[in-house]
Amino acid sequence: SASEERREFSAEVGRLLDLVVHSLYSDREIFLRELVANAADASDRRRFEALTDADRALPADAKIRIVPDKAARLLTISDDGTGMSRDELVRNLGTIARSGTRAFNQKLSDVKPEDRPSLIGQFGVGFYSAFMVADRVEVVSRRVGEAEAWRWSSEGQGSYTLAPAERDTPGTDIVLHIKSDADDFLEPFRLETIVRKWADHITWPITVQRDGQDIAANEGTALWRKPKSEITEEQLTEFYQHLGHMFDKPWATLHWRAEGALEFIAMLFIPGMRPFEPVESTRESRLRLHVRRMFITDEAELLPPWLRFVQGVVDTEDLPLNVSREMLQSTPVLARIRKAVTNRVLSELRNRAKDAESFATFWENFGAVLKEGLWEDAEHRADVATLARFRSTAADDWTGLADYVARMKPEQEAIYFLVGDNLEALRSSPQLEGFQARGIEVLLLSDSVDSFWPDRLSRFEDKPLRSVTQGLADLSKLPLAEPQEDGADLSDLLPRLKEALGTAVSDVRGTDRLVNSAVVLAASGAGPDLQMQRLMRRAGQ
C-alpha cells in the first residue's frame, strides 16, 4: 500500500536469519518459549513504567494469549505489555537489539559452521526464532501512551515492511504464518504442553485457545515459591537457563526463605560456565527483585559487583508492590537484603571450597571477578582472601593463602608474589631465581585485577604480602637450598653500569636474588610494584 515502507535488516540480523531459517534441527518448539518470554518481559516493563505513570497501568486481566487458527494456518501470541512504537519496532526487530540475541551472535563466530545448528537449539535466539516455524511473521504493536499502532511484517529474507495499523489497546500481537512442515504448532494440546514445559515460572497468566475458549496453560506459581521438595532438577535447570541465557547446568543452586525481621525468598544460581556476554561487560549485579511474586527490577544491585556472576531472583514481602524508583534507592530494606544475600553466597562458597576439584571449576570461571572484592570491599576482603586461589611456584594445582602460609619456611616472614601478564612468562621470570634457590614459594598472579588488590589486602594471617620485585624482599636472611659459590666482586662494575644507564634507573646494586641470570629489573622498595608501574605507564600516569 501507499503508506507501507520497506526496509533492509542490518547485516547481522540477515546473517542470523539465514542461519535460523536454513538450519533444520529438532528443537523448533523453543520459538514459543522465546515469544512468551518476550511477552512476559514487555508486561514486566509496563508494570515498572506504571509505577511512575499510573496511566500506563496494565488492565486487571492482563495475560499472554496464544491463539492457534488451523484453517488460516495462523498462530498468534498476544500480550498487554509496553508495546513498541514505530522507532522501537525498527530498532528492536530490524537490528540485533538486545542481550540474548547479541550474545548468541557473538558466540556464533567462535563455532564451526557444522556445529551452529545445535547452538541455535541450545541457546534460543529470541524473536528471530519465530522464522523456524513461520514463513511470514507479522507484529502488530501499540506503544502504551500512544494512540497509533504499527504493523511490522517480514518473510525473514533481507527486508521487512512497516505500515500503520489498528489496535484497540496497548500491547503486541505476534502473528505467525505457520510453515507447511510445522502443523503441530497449530494443535492446542501441543502448545499447552510446550508452555507447561518452558514457561511454568512465568507469573503472568498464559492461555491457549482450544475450541474457542482460553484455557489456562501455566500454574503461575513462581518456581521459587514452591517448597524444595516439589521442585525437580529439570525445572531448576530450565529456570536457570532462561534467566541467564545459559545452556549448561548451574554449578551451585541456593534456594532459601528468610523469615523473621526480614522476609524474602531467594533462588540463586552460580553458573557452571562463563556466560557469553562477558562478565566484564557490566559491573552491576543483575539479580531480579520481585515483590510478592511480581517482577520489579533487575537494577536493584542486590549483590556487590564482585558477585555479579550470580544469577537469580529475590522475592520479598517487605516492600509495597507499588514501590517507586526513589524508594528503591533509599529503603533500608534493600540494604539488609543485600547483606543477607551476600553473606549467604559467601558461606556457600566457603562450603563448596572444601571440594578442591569442583571449586577449581568455579574459580577458573569467576575467580578474576571475585578478586575484585579484595580490592574494593573492605567489609568482605578477609572472606574473599580465604576463598581466593592462586597459581604458585610450589604447586601445579590451585592453592589458597592458608595453605601457602602452612608451607612457609620457618625464617620466612612474608607471602611473596609476582604479578605479570601471563602464567608462562611468570614461571620463567628471572625475578624468581633467588626465591627458588632458597625453596621459597612465590604466588604467580596474572589477572589484571592482581595489580591492584595486594596493596589493599596487605596481610593474611598476620603475614605481609610482598611483591618479589620490590627490593624489600630480604633474601640474605634466608638460607640457600644448595650452597653457592661466593659472588664475584662487583665494586668495579656497578658504578660503570650506573653511569652507562644514566637516568633510566635510580640505582644499580648487587643482589642475592639471581642465580642463573646476570641482571634483573627491580622496583625501588617503597614505590609501586613493577607490574603496577607498567599499568600506570599504559594509563598515561
Least Å from the CB of residue 172 to ligand ADP: 4
Query: Which position's Cβ is nearest ligand ADP?
Result: 126
Q: Nearer Cβ to ligand ADP, position 96 or 341?
A: 96
Question: For Mg ion, what does the binding mask look like between residues 136 and 155, x meaning CB under 5 A?
Answer: --------------------
- How many CB atoms within 10 Å of residue 163? 15
Applying CB under 5 A, among 81, 126, 170, 434 the residue interacting with Mg ion is 126
Find out whether 275 and 296 touch, Cβ atoms under 8 Å: no
Least Å from the CB of residue 101 to Mg ion: 7
Q: Quote the CA–CA distance of 312 and 309 in Å, as a whole number.
A: 10
Decide: is 38 part of the binding site for Mg ion (CB under 5 A). Answer: yes
Q: Nearer Cβ to ligand ADP, position 36 or 307?
A: 36
Residues within window 102-131 making contact with ligand ADP, judged by CB under 6 A: 126-127
Q: Nearer Cβ to ligand ADP, position 170 or 420?
A: 170
Residues within window 39-78 making contact with ligand ADP, judged by CB under 6 A: 39, 42
Q: Which residue has the cell 605507564?
A: 537
> Which of Mg ion, ligand ADP, none does residue 103 bind (CB under 5 to 8 Å by kind)?
none
Find out whether 341 and 300 touch, Cβ atoms under 8 Å: no
Stretch that binds ligand ADP, among 23-31, 90-98, 220-228, 256-264 (CB under 6 A): 90-98
Find out whether 366 and 377 touch, Cβ atoms under 8 Å: no
Can you tell me whether residue 5 is helix, strand or coil? strand
Question: For ligand ADP, what does the binding mask look like between residues 14 and 33, x meaning CB under 6 A?
Answer: --------------------
Q: Quote the CA–CA distance of 477 and 410 in Å, as a whole number.
A: 11
Least Å from the CB of residue 43 to ligand ADP: 8
Least Å from the CB of residue 209 to ligand ADP: 18
> Which of Mg ion, ligand ADP, none does residue 39 bind (CB under 5 to 8 Å by kind)?
ligand ADP
> Which of ligand ADP, Mg ion, none does residue 99 bind (CB under 5 to 8 Å by kind)?
ligand ADP
Beta bridge partners of 253: 269
Applying CB under 6 A, among 82, 241, 342, 531 the residue interacting with ligand ADP is 82
Least Å from the CB of residue 170 to ligand ADP: 10
Q: Quote the CA–CA distance of 77 and 10 in Å, as a whole number.
A: 25
Beta bridge partners of 150: 141, 164
DSSP codes of every residue in 29-98: THHHHHHHHHHHHHHHHHHHHHHH-GGGPPPTT--EEEEEETTTTEEEEEE-S----HHHHHHHHHTT-S
Stretch that binds ligand ADP, among 80-88, 176-184, 313-321, 417-425 (CB under 6 A): 80-88
Instruction: Indicate the DSSP class of residue 355.
Output: S
Q: Which helix (H) or strand (E) holds 123?
A: helix 116-123
Least Å from the CB of residue 232 to ligand ADP: 26
End-to-end CA distance of the chain: 62
Decide: is 80 part of the binding site for ligand ADP (CB under 6 A). Answer: no
Pairing outcome for strands 415-419 and 463-467: parallel
Nearest Cα neighbor of 37 from 215, 154, 206 is 206
Q: Nearer Cβ to ligand ADP, position 288 or 466?
A: 288
Residues within window 129-188 making contact with ligand ADP, judged by CB under 6 A: 172
Provide the Cα torsion 285, 286, 291, 293; round to 10°.
-140
Q: Which residues sit at the interface with ligand ADP, rule CB under 6 A? A: 34, 38-39, 42, 79, 81-82, 84, 92-93, 97-101, 126-127, 172
Q: Which residues sit at the interface with Mg ion, rule CB under 5 A? A: 38, 126
